[in-house]
Chain A
Amino acid sequence: MTAATAPRGAARPMSRWNPRNPWRHPWFLEGFTWLYLIWSLVPIAIAVLFSFNKGRSQATYQGLSWHWYFWDKTNSVLHNPQLHAAVIQTVRLSVLTTLIAVPLGVAFALGINRWRGPVPSTFNFVMILSFVIPELIFGVAMFFVFTVLFTSVHLGTLAEVLGLVTWNVSWPAIIVQARLVTLGRQYEEAAADLGANRFQALRRVMLPLLAPAIFASAVLVFSGVIDDFVIVDLLSSNAGNTPMSVIIYSTQHGGNSGPALNALGTIMLVMSFVIAIIGYLGYRFLTRGERGSRIEALTTIAGSEG
């Protein structure tokens, strides 16, 4: 990644403000960018603020309190059994999906990348298709396969996990393959020359080298499941296996649950941000010997390979 630091540091006889200076700072663009950022983030800040609202309103500010998180004896996230169960279900789905999808995807990437023939390239293509297919079309397929074919998998937590793993397995598969391409084969060959068999080379040489990629993909899978909506919406069956995103959706257009929904959304947001920070710091730690920059860590954790 080449940082696009424009050569503004060169000797500048003209001021940054002078409109005739061809290298002047693009104030208009900067203003536009700030306007975009305000539009993009301020509504969410307001929604978070409303989760601390004292009153029932999601539109008028009535003072700060933890009312909708803990104190309300029936409607707070802590005391409303449905909201409470949703938080637990989201965490459960994220943990289970990450634990299954990451090893599955990493092994798939390692195998597919080295196995020669038409089968691996076909399945690699299938895997990438699963990455770009609209989620609704995928969700419909999952819904039907569990209702007419694999009927012993009832709609519910198991179906949700199976669907989410399939949907997210492409993260580790793609990121690890990208890393394998940049690493090349020389490390494995060196390990083999030094007498390691293939398994030892994998475990002691390749896995440590792939650690940043594996870690980044785990972070992306975990946060992806927290934020997932379509698959869990189509595959959940009752209040016990409905995660937070679906509760926010179904309650918002059905009733008047008040700021407890904002509280639920804020909990999701905090969870995602904690994961993002852990992801960023962990990625920086794992790549500490390399030349990678802060920017690279940021874009990797956002799922963009730059």
Chain B
Amino acid sequence: MRGQQKKNGFYIALAAPGVLWLLLLFIVPFYAVLAIAMGKLDRLFEVPVAVWNPLDWSSSNVINVSRDLVGGTSFAGPIVIRTVVYVAIAALLCLVIGYPAAYFVARFAGRRKALFLILLIAPFWISYMMRMLAWVDLLQSGGYANKALSWIGISPVNWLGGKSVTVIGGLVYGYIPYLILVLYAGLDRIDPALIEAGRDLGLGRIRTFTTITLPMSRQPILTGLLITVLPMLGDYYTNQLLSGAASTSMIGNLIQGQLGTPGLEGQGAVLSLLLLLVLLIPMIYYVIATNRSSQVAS
């Protein structure tokens, strides 16, 4: 019994700094957000006042936010709907483009697999801002995109002037490498013998794919979609760089905008907690799913 305790003591000492760090700089900060969300506003200086005792919590921020979200004069409601639509389209496009590429590299790249992998992984190593800057260069009024269009006789388009297409395209471009990497890892794990067996039993290419490969890639598809959807929902920069217009703003822009605005910071806190609440279930699902798959793999 004492031996067990002594043994634990060594490991507790090892884990303690990390545990303390997470407590102070991960759990406490979220309590701070809650204290501000449920807190009051200093009317004189327009700064949020955190209320630490749950008994004294006020609901004024929550009421303000719910008024913004629903009802006749709500301005945040349409932004939420727009965000969901943008993210859904972008995630779907990521999957439609990413799956064939990941499938090809996992199954058919053969000896050239390392080359393809390097090329697939490269965007992962390039700063997101640099990748967006590249598109700003291409899409600006005198950029190559418009030059190409005028070359085939189409008049130039103001791509960066608040176009949904540009923002969705930017989201797809930005997050697809993460999805492809997850899909590749999942597809690579499928035993080729299963596919051979399907073929030997007389299935054609397409039937083999739909009866064997696709069902077996359900898990990577789900986790891959999550790994792209979660950051997209907190994205404010893609949209800001590629459009900057209010007509394309998303939840991320709303929260980030309220963060620097006197008097609105409390509402920003409420919104970010609401977003967290909505995403908590998919996040936990992701954690459990990846845990399970890594146990199966090892």
Contacts and interface: CB of A to CB of B under 8 A. Distances in A.
Contact of A141 (B30, B110, B130, B279): B30
B202 to A, nearest CB: 10
A17 interface: no
A81 interface: no
Nearest to B12: A115
Interface in A268-306: 268-269, 272-273, 275-276, 294-295, 298-299, 301-306
A173 interface: yes
A268 B256 CA distance: 25
Contacts of A3: 113, 188
Contacts of B255: 136, 140
B185 A306 contact: yes
A46 B116 CA distance: 21
Given A41-B119, A295-B117, A123 B28 contact: no
A203 interface: no
B21 interface: yes
B19 A123 contact: yes
B234 interface: yes
Nearest to A100: B21
B144 A26 contact: no
A227 B265 CA distance: 27
A64 interface: no
A44 B103 CA distance: 24
A265 B130 contact: yes
B110 A5 contact: yes
Interface residues of A, number: 107
Interface stretch (B58-66, B69-77, B78-86, B267-275): B267-275
Contact of A144 (B33, B119, B130, B298): B33
A68 interface: no
Q: Most chain-A Cβ atoms within 10 A of its Cβ — which of B101, B117, B240, B241?
A: B101
Interface string B127-140: 11111111111101
Nearest to B37: A144
A298 B204 CA distance: 33
Given A40-B177, A114-B11, A128-B287, A245 B241 contact: no
Contact of B22 (A7, A130, A248, A301): A130
Interface in B167-191: 173, 176-177, 181-182, 184-185, 187-191
Interface residues of B, number: 115
B120 A107 contact: no
Interface in A57-85: 57-60
The 9 A-B pairs with the shortest beta carbon distances in the complex, nearest first, are A111-B15, A108-B18, A134-B234, A136-B234, A111-B14, A265-B130, A47-B134, A145-B29, A141-B29
27 contacts: A2-B189, A4-B107, A6-B110, A25-B108, A33-B116, A36-B97, A36-B100, A40-B123, A44-B126, A50-B137, A58-B136, A104-B18, A111-B11, A111-B16, A123-B15, A133-B276, A136-B236, A136-B255, A136-B256, A137-B275, A144-B265, A248-B129, A249-B241, A265-B129, A272-B127, A299-B185, A302-B124
Interface of B: 7-8, 10-19, 21-22, 25-30, 32-33, 35-36, 48, 50, 97-98, 100-101, 103-108, 110, 113-114, 116-138, 140-144, 173, 176-177, 181-182, 184-185, 187-192, 195-196, 199, 204-205, 226-227, 230-231, 233-237, 240-241, 244, 252, 255-256, 259, 265, 268-269, 272, 275-276, 279, 283-284, 286-287, 294, 297-298
